[in-house]
Amino acid sequence: MKKIAALTLILVTIAAVTVLANAYPIIIDLIETKDLQGNLKTTFRRGEVIVIETRLKANPSYYFVAPVDYLEIIEVFYGPYVMNLLLTRDSISSGETKEFGGGYRIRDSDPTGTYVIEVYVWNGFPSEVGAAWKPLADMKTKSFTVTP
């Protein structure tokens, strides 16, 4: 009897995790770093421009009654420090894919080493939507390197 109860608990937990994983209406499908010519690149020198592009997809497991409005935030971190920020607002419907990108010049005074890009998709800023604030996708990351 204990084995059946334990197995049932495991199956319920797996089902709950699966539902939670599919609960977000948007999937961050891709993060790419490129140079100004559009070449994929993960190592940049100080003074170069890094182009960051993302691709969002409507989650096929999510039931869309109407388009979902979102705020996409791309933050670039060096350790705990925010080095740059890009954002856009848009909406997405069932079956859609959206692309967004931007870039910035790596300053001559920026530290060398590993930087981390964090991409978030929310229903707005917490200050705008208050208690209704929520993520609309699992956060995704990508790293790149800055050299002298």
d(CA 13, CA 102): 40
- Render pLDDT for 62-105 as a digit per residue (tens, 0 to 9): 999 999 999 999 999 999 999 999 999 999 999 999 999 999 99
Residue 36 lies in a domain: yes
- Which has the higher per-residue pLDDT, 21 or 86? 86
Residue 8 lies in a domain: no
What is the value of pTM for the model shown? 0.83
Domains of the chain: total: 1
Confidence class for position 10, pLDDT limits 50, 70, 90:
very low
Q: Which of 148, 88, 80 is nearest to 115 (CA)?
A: 80
100: CATH: 2.70.50.60
Q: What average pLDDT is seen over the chain?
A: 90
- Render pLDDT for 34-45 as a digit per residue (tens, 0 to 9): 999 999 999 999
